[in-house]
């Protein structure tokens, strides 16, 4: 099942994409796709429905972030073997965690803002995990029972702010629009642990990243269980699971960074497509 939120920013309505690719309205079944709705058993209630009975949404409305109002975005760094190696780093022995501000979330086709004065804004395609049920000290064997589904995301990063301005990584990760999320939330009944997905990213029609979730150092179940030992994961929370090789700062001999007017396209197998233009903040 592919759950979406459609409409103007701040006024999105709940919907889903059926097997024929048709957008259908879910307003009669839930006020939104968010933590409370997921926690209330929304997905379980929708699974037996005949989706053909849901109203068709006419036209081509904007799609917003596929989940509303997460309390936090938890990110895992250096979680792809090839990405760690391209940066000359050893593989982590435990997941490397940092946080990204929830205010950074934006829609899958919205413009992305380059921070004022930035010379080193970079891309990072990622698999996002959406929590569906509170997770606190959960065992790895039980972790997927706490996952609602998956989405395509980008951990857009300002490398100077991340690496050269003191402190840890959050300030380079949390600018407005730095977490495009969607177009849809694919439920776990379709993707399981999401271990067989390709992720590709192009900037100005040049492919920069081409990775696969089989290359994750720590898989979804391990990551959910691990994070839940340090903080409670609440329904609607988002985990960004890391990026494969090909980020701009690692391009040799000359790194490549984003500029106003650049175009970025991301594709995840069964996760959909994102398309963004970069603009000055």
DSSP assignment of 115-146: PTT-S-EE--EEEEEEE-S-BSS--GGGGGGG
Same domain, residue pair 83 and 206 = yes
Answer yes or no: is 67 within a domain: no
Band of residue 165 on the pLDDT scale cut at 50, 70, 90: confident
Same domain, residue pair 113 and 24 = no
Tell me the pairing of strands 105-106 and 179-180: parallel
Same domain, residue pair 104 and 179 = yes
Query: Across residues 115-119, what is the average pLDDT?
Result: 96
**Cα separation of 47 and 263, whole Å?**
37
In the structure encoding, which two tokens stand for residue 215, read together? 């290359």
Domain that holds residue 228: 73-280
**Residue range 177-203, pLDDT digits in tens:** 999 999 999 999 999 999 999 999 999
Residue 101 to residues 74, 124, 242, Cα–Cα distance (Å): 9, 16, 16
Is pLDDT above 90 for 83?
no
**Cα separation of 19 and 71, whole Å?**
31
Share of the chain above pLDDT 90, in %: 93
For 91, list phi and psi in degrees, rounded to 5: -65, 135
pTM: 0.97
Beta-carbon contacts of residue 93 (< 8 Å; ≥ 6 apart): none
Number of domains into which the chain is organized: 2
Confidence at residue 88, expressed as pLDDT on a 0 to 100 scale:
80
Same domain, residue pair 78 and 216 = yes
Is pLDDT above 80 for 87?
no
Band of residue 110 on the pLDDT scale cut at 50, 70, 90: very high
Answer yes or no: is 272 within a domain: yes
Query: Across residues 121-144, what is the average pLDDT?
Result: 98
Same domain, residue pair 136 and 262 = yes
Answer yes or no: is 66 within a domain: no
């Amino acid at each position: 099942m592919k759950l979406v939120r459609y409409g103007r920013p701040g006024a999105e309505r709940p919907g889903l994409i059926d097997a024929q690719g048709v957008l259908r309205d879910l307003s009669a079944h839930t006020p939104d796709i968010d933590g409370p709705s997921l926690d209330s058993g929304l997905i379980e209630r929708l699974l037996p429905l005949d989706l053909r009975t849901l109203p068709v949404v006419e036209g081509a409305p904007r799609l917003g972030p596929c989940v509303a109002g997460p309390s936090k975005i938890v990110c895992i760094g250096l979680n792809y073997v090839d990405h760690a190696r391209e940066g000359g780093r050893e593989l982590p022995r435990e997941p490397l965690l940092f946080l990204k501000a929830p205010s950074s979330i934006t829609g899958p086709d919205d413009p992305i803002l380059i921070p004022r004065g930035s010379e080193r804004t970079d891309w990072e395609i990622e698999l996002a995990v959406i929590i569906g049920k509170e997770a606190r000290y959960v065992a790895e064997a039980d972790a997927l029972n706490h996952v609602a589904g998956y989405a395509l995301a980008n951990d857009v990063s300002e490398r100077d702010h991340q690496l050269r301005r003191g402190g840890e990584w959050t300030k380079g990760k949390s600018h407005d629009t730095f977490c495009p999320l969607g177009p849809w939330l694919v439920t776990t009944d379709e993707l399981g642990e999401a271990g067989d997905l390709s992720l590709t990213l192009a900037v100005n029609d040049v492919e920069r990243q081409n990775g696969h979730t089989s290359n994750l150092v720590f898989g979804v179940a391990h990551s959910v269980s691990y994070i839940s030992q340090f903080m409670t994961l609440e329904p609607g929370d988002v985990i960004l699971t890391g990026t494969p090789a090909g980020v701009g700062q690692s391009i040799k001999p000359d790194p490549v960074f984003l500029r106003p007017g650049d175009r970025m396209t991301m594709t995840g197998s069964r996760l959909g497509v994102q398309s963004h233009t970069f603009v000055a903040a």
